[in-house]
Amino acid sequence: MMSNSFSDLAAELAPGILKNLESLGYIEMTPIQAESLPHILSGKDVIGQARTGSGKTAAFGLGLISVLDTQIFDVQALVLCPTRELADQVAKAIRQLARATPNVKILSLCGGAPFRPQAASLEYGAHIVVGTPGRIEDHLRKKTLVLDALKVLVLDEADRMLDMGFQDSIENIIEQVPQQRQTLLFSATFPDSIRSVTSSVMDDPVTIEVAAGHDNSTIEQHFYLVNDSAEDRANVVQLLLLQHAPNSAVVFCNMKKEVAELAEQLVEAGFSALALHGDLEQRDRDSTLVRFANGSATVLVATDVAARGLDIESLDAVINFQLAHDPEVHVHRVGRTGRAGQQGSAFTLYSPREGRKITALEELLQYSVEPESLPSSSLMSQQPAAATMTTLRIDGGKKQKLRPGDILGALTGQDGIAGSDVGKIAIFDTCAYVAVSSGSANAAVKKISRGKLKGRSFRAWTI
């Protein structure tokens, strides 16, 4: 019988770690934590099937921290992630878990960021490295990263890494790590390509399959039979958005081209929509994700790969522009809504040509898909609801020592805007983003541009 409480693992976890977990709100373990963590702490290789939001990061994060020798500044754990966004989230989560362990140094090494500062940080040593395969491979090739002392290798969201074409990079990295190590692999789905990887790089792994990390009873699924044309599908997407008016919705497309075209159509129709796909520059990806997360846009049109690592606390709706190629991916898509006990809705468009996909999905969901009536075309006369927030970009960030409190204080100081008009603040290396209520946007820009932060002047503008 597996443990259900972190306190049941007191013998394997240091008292300080348990106290820190309690302060972070970790009391009862999620299913993936309860089933995998005892095996991870015992040093076994583990294969875990778990979706985003299931708590897997805490499971492998605690495993990494438990094996560290903090007196030695060698890389002892490596976590590979498919995207920079997910890597940043993982690194942040592990830092929180490691607060009770002195002197732990965690580095994030991802593409889209300058190489030299990363190399300089590595010169001072690190215990845990979290990164994307391409950038990790670059550092290994240039000898700025050495993995001779590695104890644990984690492949997080392995299916997405393979989908993104990282298999060769992953294999090259594995060739340069010690054979005597622990390997942990987590994946939302298990295609044949994953099975071939696990058979070659893992030693007698324990396999754990956990159902979705959310309660599907909180998600209402709706299916609509449509004509097999992008124009008809786009019209139905607009009707659904007008009928249900979600504060936040992700529309999933299978192709990058479809993402760009649909987002453009929605913007032309008056929706506050953004596109997220693999061709965006990192700066544009960052601003897109920030704007959607802080409520400055109500609709995000995205591919599955681009949206992996998307961290939205409350997502009202998911719309599938087409059926996913894999029914497991469909479950992963709709599982982004209806989390933490909140109600969510999923709307899926499919054509008569997608009958095989519907059959496969019915087998997985174990119920019969019945198409519903399309919303009335009369809704097209309505004006889409505008986003309630607007995002400001400030040309200063972590390197200028800016903190969220500095920005909040500058905005709400003498003759400033109300604190209730300030939303999420996100700070990057050389820039910062802050959400403000749309009615206060102009005043906020003036307050930042005409005032000072940390005794310095910074430019600010709306995006």
The pLDDT tens digits for 184-228 are 999 877 777 777 778 778 888 999 987 544 445 678 899 999 988
3-state secondary structure of 153: strand
What 3 state SS string does 389-422 have? EEEEEECCCHHHCCCHHHHHHHHHCCCCCCHHHE
Amino acid at 376: S
Which residue, among 410, 420, 406, 418, has the nearest Cα to 445 in the 3D structure? 410
- How long, in residues, is the chain? 463
pLDDT at 7: 76
Position 378 pLDDT exceeds 50:
yes
CA distance 23 to 233: 47
Alpha helices in 273-431 (DSSP H): 282-293, 304-307, 327-334, 355-365, 404-412
Region of poorest pLDDT, from 180-189, 193-202, 252-261, 275-284: 193-202
pTM of the model: 0.64
The more confidently predicted of residues 24 and 430 is 430
What's the pLDDT tens digit per position in 297-331? Answer: 999 999 887 666 566 666 889 999 999 888 878 88
Domains of the chain (ranges plus CATH)?
Answer: 6-209 (3.40.50.300), 216-381 (3.40.50.300), 389-462 (3.30.70.330)
Region of poorest pLDDT, from 11-15, 259-263, 374-378, 433-437: 11-15
Q: Name the percent of the chain lying above pLDDT 90.
A: 48
What's the pLDDT tens digit per position in 144-154? Answer: 999 999 999 99
* Average pLDDT in the chain: 87
Give the pair of three-digit tokens for residue 83.
């995207």
